[in-house]
Amino acid sequence: MAEQGLERWDSVFANLRETLNIYVNLGDRDMVGRIFNELTSAFKRSGRFEEATETARRGLAHLEADVSADRARLLASLAQAHSNAARYEQAHEALREALNIASQLSDPQLEVTCQPGFDPRMFVGGVVVSVKLLEQCGCRPNSVK
């Protein structure tokens, strides 16, 4: 979304909420999970961690007990939001569950994206992911931007 790059957060949130409502009404669980992830990430990027936490929880409630990549990503986002709010015990629990789901799905790329601080858009500043782990996921470290 162009609005995210321009930090037009009110527009970003409104568009994502509208999209979410459409997919909820259609009953498309896969897209609902993706949109909850996008909305949670937008709240985190805008520094609205309490709203990110609440959105991730709503998304998790909607996905129920699914063992899915979307659930793992929501749990990882919830962990990051808890960490940013200094709720480290809750962050650790959510991250542990996210990594457990990624492991159950036998998806090493998902395991990488659930790691704390991983942002596929920016591979800088405090993000430490080993070259070996990236190669296992089919990524070439020089190609990650």
pLDDT in tens, 3-62: 444 467 999 999 999 999 999 999 998 899 999 999 998 998 898 989 999 999 999 999
pLDDT at 141: 47
State the residue for tokens 């985190």.
44
Positive or negative torsion for Cα 97, 103, 104, 107: positive
What is the reported pTM?
0.71
Residue-averaged pLDDT of the chain: 78
Q: Residues in the chain, how many?
A: 145
Q: Domains plus CATH for the chain?
A: 2-107 (1.25.40.10)
pLDDT at 129: 41
pLDDT at 139: 56
Q: Phi and psi of 129, rounded to 5°?
A: -130, 125
